[in-house]
């Protein structure tokens, strides 16, 4: 299966289990691998035949502006569902990092895979 990539997408979100975290915006970093057969897009040089990484990046930015959750897990799961439902993504691997959340770690976060990966 081919893959459309988005790496290091910086998102501003209200996230965190503590009350003070619900009062501020924090930066999240998102890496996405999106399963997609790019054969027809490449053959026809046609954006409409593939996943538009610019449109997806923009939509995820608006999603973060419209929602607030406590857990990284919740953001990850909800963004995966959005990608499946709004963009028809059959398989995805999503890594969500929360830089600076743990003082001695460069990143903390979650990684999930959803859907069935075709060969
Ligand atoms: N598995 C998780 N653990 C923790 C989360 C989380 O979202 N998932 N969040 C926090 C706090 O919000 C933390 O990021 C603030 O320092 C703690 N553990």
Which residues surround ligand 1 with Cβ inside 6 Å?
A: 16-18, 21, 71-73, 98, 101
Nearest CA to ligand 1 atom 15: 101
Query: What's 3-115's CATH class?
Result: alpha beta
**Stretch (H or E) spanning 44:** helix 39-44
pTM: 0.96
98 as an active site residue: the answer is: yes
Q: Which of 69, 83, 92, 98 is catalytic?
A: 98
- Atom 4, ligand 1: residue with shortest CA distance: 71
d(Cα 76, Cα 112) in Å, to the nearest integer?
7
Q: What are the pLDDT tens digits along the chain (119 aa)?
A: 999 999 999 999 999 999 999 999 999 999 999 999 999 999 999 999 999 999 999 999 999 999 999 999 999 999 999 999 999 999 999 999 999 999 999 999 999 999 998 87
β-strand partners of 31 = 95
């Amino acid at each position: 299966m081919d893959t459309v990539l988005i790496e290091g997408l910086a998102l501003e979100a209200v996230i965190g289990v503590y009350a003070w975290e619900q009062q501020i915006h924090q930066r999240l970093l998102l890496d996405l691998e999106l399963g997609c057969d790019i054969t027809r897009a490449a053959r026809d040089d046609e954006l409409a035949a593939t996943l538009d990484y610019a449109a997806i990046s923009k939509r995820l930015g608006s999603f973060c502006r419209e929602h607030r959750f406590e857990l990284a897990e919740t953001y990850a799961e909800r963004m995966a569902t959005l990608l499946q439902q709004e963009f028809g993504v059959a398989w995805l691997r999503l890594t969500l990092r929360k830089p600076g959340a743990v003082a001695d770690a460069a990143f903390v976060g979650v990684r999930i895979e959803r859907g069935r990966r075709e060969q």
